[in-house]
């Protein structure tokens, strides 16, 4: 077992030495740590508050239950209320809370907690990127 660990270490170390973490243009090295570079502040945009219009800009169709969910989320955000939401799979919860959150005028932000790391990554990498591109 020790031999396998040592040999695995050798392979990993060799690959690590050949890899350049700085090959990504959005990273910088600071005191031996690789950090994401600061991005330019985005100019605030005037977005439509109409959920159906925003969902169509994403190339999606509005669903009645999703619209109802989004309206409830929007009301809670306007009232600055803490809320915990749960709904069935396939309702469209992710865009149902992300699109109303785009309308927030304060810079306080929204904290979203999801049950799995996979879903967290999906929201950041897929939906977040899509919102950044469209809006």
> Are both 67 and 125 inside the same structural domain?
yes
Whether residue 118 sits in one domain with residue 78: yes
Neighbouring CB atoms inside 10 A of 101's CB total 14
| pTM of the shown model | 0.63
* C-alpha–C-alpha distance, residues 94 and 34, integer Å: 30
> Could you list the residue range(s) of the whole structural domain that residue 128 is in?
51-134
Q: Kindly state whether residue 45 falls inside one of the protein's structural domains.
A: no
Mean pLDDT by 10 residues, the chain (135 residues): 83 76 73 82 75 90 92 89 84 91 77 89 91 86
State the pLDDT at residue 20: 62
- The reply to whether 46 falls in a domain is no
- Say what the pLDDT of residue 21 is: 57
In the chain, the number of structural domains is 2
Question: d(Cα 96, Cα 119) in Å, to the nearest integer?
Answer: 15
Residue 42 in any domain: the answer is no
């Amino acid at each position: 077992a020790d031999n396998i660990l040592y040999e695995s270490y050798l392979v990993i170390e060799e690959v690590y030495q050949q890899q350049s973490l700085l090959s990504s243009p959005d990273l910088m090295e600071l005191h031996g740590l690789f950090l994401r570079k600061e991005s330019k502040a985005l100019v605030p945009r005037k977005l439509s508050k109409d959920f159906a219009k925003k969902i169509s800009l994403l190339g999606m169709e509005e669903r009645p239950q999703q619209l109802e969910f989004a309206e409830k989320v929007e009301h809670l955000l306007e009232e600055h209320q803490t809320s915990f939401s749960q709904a069935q799979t396939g309702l469209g919860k992710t865009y149902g809370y992300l699109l109303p959150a785009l309308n927030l005028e304060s810079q306080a932000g929204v904290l979203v907690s999801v049950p799995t790391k996979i879903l967290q990554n999906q929201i950041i990498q897929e939906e977040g990127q899509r919102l950044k591109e469209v809006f």
